[in-house]
Amino acid sequence: MPESAWGWLIVAYLFLAGAGSGAFLAAVACDLLAPDWSRTLARAGSLAAGPLVTIGTVCLVLDLEAGLWQPWRQIYLVSNLSSMITWGVIILSAFIPVAFLYAAALNEITFVGRFAKKYLLHLEIVGSVLAASTAAYTGVLIAVVNGVPFWNTPLMPVLFMASAISTGLAVAMIGAAILDINTIKTLSNFALGHLIFLSVEAVVLMMFIFMSLTRSVEAAASADMLISGVLSPYFWVIVVVLGIVLPFLLSIVEYYKYGELHKYLVIGADLCVLLGGMSLRAVIIFSATPPQVI
């Protein structure tokens, strides 16, 4: 396996930033579309978004070297607007406070929350744009890298966006069950959401793999690593079966046996989506194959 300069900390960051921004989008969607019966889910999503993206950003900072030991160097991170990391720093710096403020407003936490509640719709609009930017940016970050042909495709941000939305919905559903286990029945309403987003993710993933096979020798080498190479057990078992197929099937059952599915199966499906989302990032980062230069 080729050695990558980036490891698990970056994988965790890509996943957490995606899941956090997805949870924010899920919360906004619930609050705007069905504030009456999906209130718990909106609350859970809003409460999870800020902390998840923050933990992800901490992982990103921990991966730095000189920038970690001499933190004042991080001020330079916004120097180069042609670097996606500079854009990422700007987007994250804007999104994290908005996400916390939105959680405070929606849950009416402290006087800040009660004050911010007056501007709830504004927070939702600005926050959604920033959340979508965060999710897409994690894909663009690695898509603009021409040192790894496998990543260098416009499908990358689309794939990460799709995964961010499905993992975000899973986070919000788990959070809703933690906040109030009685909502487990109403969670069946969101099974359809899972079906749609997991299908989109599966289609984009399939296109990504198929197109990589013909795009270049190096991209094909990476794709082969996932389909039949060293990473194939993780790709097929964790990413495809546990992360997409199993939650998809459980969501179908959940949708038709409205509210009757056992609570552990509902939560289990969501945990599988999260496991799949994390593993998707891991196999993409660890299958990086550099161009054949000699």
Partner 1 sequence: MPRYGIAIDTTKCIGCHSCRVACQNQQGLEYNQSFNWIKEKERGKFPSFAKEFVPLQCNQCENAPCQRVCPTGAIYTSPEGVVLVHKERCVGCKYCIEACPYKVRTVDHHEGIVVKCWFCIDLVRAGGEPACVTTCPTQVRIFGDLDDPGSRISRFIATHRAEPLRPDLGTRPRIFYKRS
176, 41 contact by CB (below 8 A): yes
Stretch that binds partner 1, among 42-50, 85-93, 176-184, 256-264 (CB under 8 A): 85-93
CB count, 10 Å around CB of 256? 11
The answer to whether 213 contacts partner 1 (rule: CB under 8 A) is no
Q: How far is the CB of 91 from partner 1 (least distance, A)?
A: 13
What's the closest the beta carbon of residue 221 comes to partner 1, in angstroms?
14
Task: Single out the residue of 65, 111, 154, 233 in contact with partner 1 (rule: CB under 8 A).
Answer: 65
Q: Is 105 in the site for partner 1 (CB under 8 A)?
A: no
Taking the CA atoms of residue 262, residue 266, residue 268 and residue 269 in that order, the dihedral angle to the nearest 10 degrees is 140
Q: Which amino acid is at 279?
A: S
Which one among 48, 103, 105, 142 touches partner 1, defined by CB under 8 A?
142
Binding status of residue 58 toward partner 1 by CB under 8 A: no
Q: How far apart are CA 31 and CA 121, in angstroms?
A: 10
Q: Where does this chain touch partner 1 (CB under 8 A) — which range of 34-42, 76-84, 127-135, 258-266?
A: 76-84
Q: Which of 145, 252, 253, 275 binds partner 1 (CB under 8 A)?
A: 145
Stretch that binds partner 1, among 1-9, 28-36, 239-247, 258-266 (CB under 8 A): 1-9
Three-point CA angle 223, 200, 33, nearest 5° = 150
Contacts 24+ apart (CB under 8 A), 102-108: 102/24, 102/27, 102/46, 102/49, 102/50, 102/127, 103/46, 103/47, 103/49, 103/50, 106/27, 106/31, 106/42, 106/43, 106/46, 107/43, 107/46, 107/47
214 binds partner 1 (CB under 8 A): no
Closer by beta carbon to partner 1, 68 or else 112: 68
83 binds partner 1 (CB under 8 A): yes
Residue 36 in the binding site for partner 1 (CB under 8 A): no
Among 64, 140, 207, 220, binds partner 1 (CB under 8 A): 64
Q: Give me the least distance between CB of 293 and partner 1, in Å please.
A: 5
Window 147-166: contact mask with partner 1 (x via CB under 8 A): xx------------------
Burial 68-81, CB ≥16 within 10 A → b, else e: eeeeeeeeebeeee
Query: Is the CB of residue 166 less than 8 Å from the CB of residue 201?
Result: yes
Segment contacting partner 1 by CB under 8 A, of 13-21, 39-47, 92-100, 137-145: 137-145
Q: Least Å distance between CB 89 and partner 1?
A: 7
Residue 130 CA to residue 138 CA, distance in Å, equals 12
Say which residues have a Cβ less than 8 Å from residue 277's Cβ, sequence separation at least 6.
15, 18, 19, 163, 164, 166, 167, 170, 243
State the Cα–Cα distance between residues 90 and 85, nearest whole angstrom.
9
Q: Can residue 79 be called a binding residue for partner 1 (CB under 8 A)? A: yes
Q: Of 46 and 222, which has the nearer Cβ to partner 1?
A: 222
| Residue 5 binding partner 1, by CB under 8 A | yes
Binding site for partner 1 (CB under 8 A): 4-6, 63-69, 73-74, 76-80, 82-86, 89, 142, 144-148, 288, 290-291, 293-294
